[in-house]
Structure 1
C-alpha cells in the first residue's frame, strides 16, 4: 500500500480527535453548537502542537494558546480549564484513534507476512499524517502526571506488543524464524520512531515515507522470514 492510498482510505484524524474530545467532554464544554465546538477544538489543538513544539509545553501559557488559536481567554476557558487538561484530552483521544486504525488494517489481513507488513506501513503512514501529534506526544510525555504518563508508556508498549504478537503467530505457523520476539519488536519500534523523531534527516535526503516503509520491510524480511525448505 502507498501513502496516498492510505490517506484516501481513512478519515480526517484531526477532526476525529476533536469529535472524540467533544463526546468525552460534552458536559464540561460551555458551548452549544457542535460545528463551532469542533472548529474551535481544532484551533486549540493546532495551537497547542505548534507552540508546544516551538517553545515546549512547560513554557506555554493559556494566553499563548488564546493568541495563537485566535480565541479570547473567556472562549478558551469555556472549553478547557488548564493547558494540562488540553494535553490530556489531545493525547488520550489521539491514542485511541491510532489504535483503532492500526487494528482495523491489521484485522483485514489473514497471513502473518501481510499482517507484519501492513502493521509497519500503517504505523509509518499514521506518523506521517499525524506527525506533529506523534512528535509532541513523545517529547511531552515527561510533563504528564503519573497516571497519564503510565498511559503514555502503555501506548509505547502497545505497538511493540502488536508486532511481537504477529511475529509469534508467524513463528507458530512456520513463516518466521524463532528468535527473541519481544526484543525484536522493541528494535523495530525504534526504527519506526526514527521516521518522525528525526524527520529532518530524511527530508534532506529526499526520502519519502513510501520509500522508508519499503526499505524497513525489505531490511527486516531476510532476518525474520524462515528460508523455504527449512522446518
Structure 2
C-alpha cells in the first residue's frame, strides 16, 4: 500500500473501502514473507490463500468461545485444513497468536501512515485520524476485536506490543491537540485525557457493533457523531474555521 491517500475528512466509508480494497491480500503476503523461513509451504499464492483461511477461522472461533478454548481440531475443521497442513504454517497456538497480533499492528501503522497527512491543517488532521480509526475498525473488525479481547493471553512482550500500539494511536491525537492549542485552534486542556476519551468512543464502535446495528446506525453516522462531540469540546470558541 504505497500510494499516498489524501482527503479523508470528506470521505465516507464506501470510499475508504475502495481505497484499501487490496489490503487483505497484502496483509497475508506480508505474513508469508515475514515467516517464510519458518513455514514449510513455499508457494506464495498457496500460503497467502491458506493464511487468510486460517486467520478468518481463528477470528470466527474466538468470537464464539475465545482463543484459549479453541483447539487445533476446531481450527482444522473451520479452516477446512488438516492438522498436518496447519502445522506447516505455525508451530503452536502461541506462535499463531503472536503472528496475528504483530500483523494487526503493522496493518494499523500502514493505514494511518497513508491517511494521516501531517502537513494538512490541524483540524483536518484530527478529523482524519478519528475517521481512519473508525473506518479501519469497521473494515477489519475481527482483527480489532481479537486484539482487544485476546491481549490478556499474550506473552509479556506481546502485551507490551499491544500497549505500544494503543499509545501510538493515542499519541497521534495528543500531538495534534497540543499543536492546535499552540495555534489557538483547540482549547487548553488535558489533551492526554481527551485523547483517551476519543479512543474509548472509537473502541465502543467495534466492541459493541451489535448495539448500533440494532439501532440502524452505520459507521458514517457514528463517525460524524464522534467528530461533532470532539470538535464541540476541543475547538477554541474564538477559532473560526478558515483554513488555518
Q: TM-score, normalised by structure 1?
A: 0.96
Distance 1:229 1:158 in 2: 28
1:165 to 171, 175, 195: 175
Root-mean-square deviation (CA, aligned residues, Å) is: 1.3
Distance 2:158 2:21 in 1: 26
Q: Does 2:123 correspond to 1:113?
A: yes
Distance 1:223 1:95 in 2: 30
Distance 1:182 1:163 in 2: 8
Q: Does 2:44 correspond to 1:14?
A: no
- The corresponding residue for 2:86 is 76
Distance 1:113 1:158 in 2: 19
Specify the SS of the correspondent of 2:116.
helix
Aligned residues: 230
- The corresponding residue for 1:145 is 155
**Which of the pair is proportionally richer in helix?**
1
- The corresponding residue for 1:174 is 184
- The corresponding residue for 2:230 is 220
Gaps of 5+ in 1: none
Kept in 2, the 8 Å contact 1:13–1:130? The answer is no
Distance 1:84 1:107 in 2: 36
Shift of 1:77: 0.5
Q: Does 2:206 correspond to 1:196?
A: yes
Distance 1:198 1:157 in 2: 22
Distance 2:92 2:78 in 1: 16
Q: Which runs of 4+ in 1 moved over 4 A?
A: none
Gaps of 5+ in 2: 1-10
Specify the SS of the correspondent of 2:91.
coil
Shift of 1:108: 6.0
Kept in 2, the 8 Å contact 1:95–1:155? The answer is yes
Distance 2:155 2:223 in 1: 34
- The corresponding residue for 1:97 is 107
- The corresponding residue for 2:216 is 206
- The corresponding residue for 1:86 is 96
Shift of 1:109: 5.2
Distance 1:103 1:80 in 2: 29
Distance 1:32 1:81 in 2: 16
- Label 1:171 to 1:51 Cα distance change in 2 as closer, same or farther (>3 A): same
Shift of 1:53: 1.1
